[in-house]
């Protein structure tokens, strides 16, 4: 019997097709406004997987629009009771599945009161977060029964790229987005498994640039559903200390795509392989897969802003299968619940 996690991950192509259609008018309107009045500063606020989506937004907005993006520390507002001032005009992007966590609600209320344009990317349109934000971009993911988010996370990434596509003049993304649902469907046919990790106790995950937030997301999922201690790093940051833990056979899972980061990443991987690491490579790129001890060949690629979604889509069934192989129920991670409320 298929797990909820697997079934929900496989729903992602239809979810995103619906999202792109239903959000088009609101996204066009928001993008027109932001092009007339670009923010001096963009803030993000989120927790867990949603915070990885927010980090993805940071990379996209800084790389493609040159907008500075800052991740808020919610406890500064909720526990230390501070209200940092921001320049005018500013933008706040709040990412959430449930839209219920008190820290996100307080952040949105506090910065909206300062005149910041607040945008909620949220799965529940009737949630307190949706009611508190000035603009809502619904995720249209429907109910998620599995504790580990899959389709809602992918919807957050898609909603972010959708907005970017309308913010960039003459954007190639506007032409690429309609093909995204079919590409996500094809990503489910990625060849290769995570069998090497069935008995593993520790794992590093590496990405670079647009794939770094996906490495963090993959590490979280491995902890949540497969009970595997996994830590995500930027491939550049990994060289500044963590690689000292490498020994013969130590597993390192790398997410690689073709963009400005690939050449340097390939050199890093060759160095890690020489140090004895067992490289698991999830990628559509033959040059990267050729370095792998355990290749996971993504059968489709897209624009650099969209391929990270394909990597995540390919990864979710692999980690679900790994959880089962390790004797765990991927739908019921130990100590976790679907909605987490924090201050």
Query: Where are the domains positioned within the chain?
Result: 4-180, 189-325
pLDDT tens, position by position, 83-109: 999 999 999 999 999 999 999 999 999
Q: How far apart are CA 261 and CA 35, in angstroms?
A: 28
Measured on CA atoms in the order 139, 144, 147, 148, is the torsion positive or negative?
negative
Q: How far is CA 160 from CA 28, 60, 260, in A?
A: 13, 9, 20
- From the list 258, 251, 256, the residue with the least C-alpha distance to 279 is 251
214's tokens = 């996906």
285's tokens = 């790129």
Let me know if the fold of 4-180 is the same as that of 189-325.
Answer: yes
66's tokens = 């040159």
Least confident span in 29-33, 66-70, 217-221, 233-237? 233-237
Q: How far apart are CA 258 and CA 201, in angstroms?
A: 30
SS (H, E, C) 135-148: EEEECCCCCCCCCC
Q: Domain 4-180: which topology?
A: Rossmann fold (3.40.50)
* CATH 3.40.50.10490 is right for the domain spanning 189-325: yes
Cβ 120 vs Cβ 133: under 8 Å: yes
Give percent of the chain above pLDDT 70: 96
């Amino acid at each position: 019997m298929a797990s909820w996690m697997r079934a929900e991950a496989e729903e992602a192509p239809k979810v995103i097709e619906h999202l792109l259609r239903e959000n088009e008018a609101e996204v066009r309107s928001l993008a027109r406004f932001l092009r007339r009045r670009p923010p001096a500063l963009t803030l993000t606020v989120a927790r867990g997987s949603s915070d990885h989506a927010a980090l993805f937004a940071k990379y996209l907005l800084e790389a493609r629009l040159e907008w500075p993006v800052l991740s808020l520390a919610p406890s500064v507002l909720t526990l230390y009771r501070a209200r940092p001032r921001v320049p005018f005009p500013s933008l706040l992007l709040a990412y959430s599945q449930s839209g219920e966590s008190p820290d996100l609600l307080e952040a949105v209320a506090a910065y909206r009161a300062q005149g910041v344009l607040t945008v909620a990317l949220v799965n529940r349109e009737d949630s307190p977060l949706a009611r508190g934000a000035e603009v809502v971009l619904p995720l249209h993911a429907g109910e998620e029964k599995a504790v580990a988010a899959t389709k809602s996370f992918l919807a957050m990434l898609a909603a972010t790229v959708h907005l970017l596509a309308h913010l960039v003049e003459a954007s190639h993304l506007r032409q690429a987005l309609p093909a995204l649902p079919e590409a996500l469907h094809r990503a489910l046919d990625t060849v290769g498994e995570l069998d090497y990790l069935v008995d593993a106790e520790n794992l590093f995950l590496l990405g670079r640039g647009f794939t770094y937030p996906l490495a963090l997301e993959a590490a979280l999922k491995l902890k949540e559903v497969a009970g595997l201690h996994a830590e995500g790093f930027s491939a550049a940051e990994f060289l500044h200390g963590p690689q000292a833990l490498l020994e013969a056979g130590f597993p390192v899972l790398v997410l690689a795509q073709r963009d400005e980061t690939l050449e340097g990443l390939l050199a890093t991987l060759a160095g890690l392989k020489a140090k004895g690491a067992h490289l698991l490579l999830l990628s559509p790129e033959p040059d990267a897969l050729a370095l792998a001890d355990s290749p996971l060949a993504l059968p489709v690629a897209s624009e650099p802003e969209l391929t990270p979604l394909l990597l995540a889509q390919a990864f979710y069934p692999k980690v679900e299968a790994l959880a089962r192989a390790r004797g765990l129920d991927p739908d019921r991670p130990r100590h976790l619940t679907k909605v987490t409320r924090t201050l």
